Amino acid sequence: MDVVTLGEALGVFAPSPSGALHAGGSARFAVGGAELNVAIGLSRLGHHVGWAGRVGDDAVGRAVRSVLRAESIDDTHVHVDPDAATGIYVKESVGLGRLRVSYHRSQSAATKMEGAEADFDYLLSGRILHLTGITPALSTSAEELLHQLMSEAARRGVTVSLDANVRHRLVNRRTPTQLLAPFLSAADLLFLSAEEGEELLGIRTATDAVERFADLRASVLVVHDASGAYAVDQDGVTTVTARALHVVDPVGAGDAFVAGYLSGHLRGWPVRQCLHLAEVCAAHVVTVEGDHEGFPAEAEAMAELGVTAPRAER
């Protein structure tokens, strides 16, 4: 396994054609979730990926497993909960290029994740374990599971990738900084949006990022937004500029960026090339409706980069 990821999958309902949801209208159904999107992206780029989590014994949960299998993602460690539903969210376009997203995930199957049922040998069987800040915000048991998992990953020498993915509506009685601080400090590869960088680490500029990088465990700190991204590592700062695009659907852009970067990292590419692949993947996703539907196949992404030997030796 190249990458194993753990998180929450969701059913996604979006009016079709795009707009606001109203009685008598039609809606497009898909599945999403930050970790699921990353898994799909990595699989399309030619990597062996596993996704683990909990879904309900319902139509949405079955759709999640169907998508995993269709995308050649290992689903052998998906737990089906007979007593809790799979979460959903509604994504509406409300004018001026803005989206309104409504989540319905309280007491979902994913909130019941806990260490007692987790197979740590499986979760840590990949070269990279990918996590997000969403999972510890779901419940106390999910938060404790991530603490245990990251601790064991460090003990076994497994690389941990963490995308902050702050969800303010999920955080209960704590700030995102209070909740996520121990996870940020334990990650080996750390991804933040520019907004999250400022909120969680006080990063406003690349100079700030260099200063904070010295206090982190991470070998690479990546900060991104719609204008581009920069990465900080032991060699300094590397920057990539995002191309000008007509954005159709921005949801999933960060997940696509992370998947692209991780793919380059798995291939042993230098940071600059990883950032370029990340930008290519994010650009493809935002120009197509859906959280991950626009993610490019490996050959397509490599052709755009001008890479003739797509796969690194394992």
The DSSP string of 73-99 is -B-TTEEEETTSPPPEEEEEE-STT-E
Cα 36 to Cα 163: distance, rounded to the nearest angstrom: 13
pLDDT by residue (tens digit) across 63-88?
999 999 999 999 999 999 999 999 99
pLDDT score, position 93: 81
Cα 199 to Cα 185: distance, rounded to the nearest angstrom: 15
Strands 228-233 and 236-241: antiparallel
pLDDT score, position 25: 82
pLDDT score, position 206: 96
Catalytic residue among 2, 163, 188, 255: 255
pLDDT score, position 27: 86
pLDDT by residue (tens digit) across 217-259?
999 999 999 999 999 999 999 999 999 999 888 899 999 999 9
Residue in the structure block whose two tokens are 């999910």? 142
CB 160 within 8 A of CB 33: no
Question: What distance separates the 2 farthest-apart alpha carbons in the chain?
Answer: 57
Q: What percent of the chain has pLDDT over 70?
A: 97
User: Which SS3 state, helix, strand or coil, does residue 233 take?
Assistant: strand
Strand order in the sheet with 3-6: 78-81, 49-56, 3-6, 128-132, 159-163, 189-193, 220-225, 228-233, 236-241
Average pLDDT over residues 113-127: 97
Res. 22: pLDDT tops 90: no
pLDDT score, position 313: 46
Is the pLDDT higher at 41 or at 313? 41
Q: CA end-to-end span of the chain, whole Å?
A: 11
- In sequence order, what are the residues at sequence separation of 6 or more whose Cβ sits closer than 8 angstroms to the Cβ of residue 21? 13, 15, 27, 90, 92
| Ranges 25-29, 150-154, 192-196, 237-241: which has the least confidence | 25-29
Cα 235 to Cα 256: distance, rounded to the nearest angstrom: 25
Cα 144 to Cα 185: distance, rounded to the nearest angstrom: 16
Question: Comparing C-alpha atoms, which of 290, 305, 273, 300 is closest to residue 36?
Answer: 290
Res. 137: pLDDT tops 80: yes
> Is 255 labeled as catalytic in the residue annotation?
yes
Task: Tell whether pTM > 0.85.
Answer: yes
Other residues' Cβ atoms within 10 Å of the Cβ of residue 217: 12
pLDDT by residue (tens digit) across 253-288?
999 999 999 999 999 999 999 999 999 999 999 999
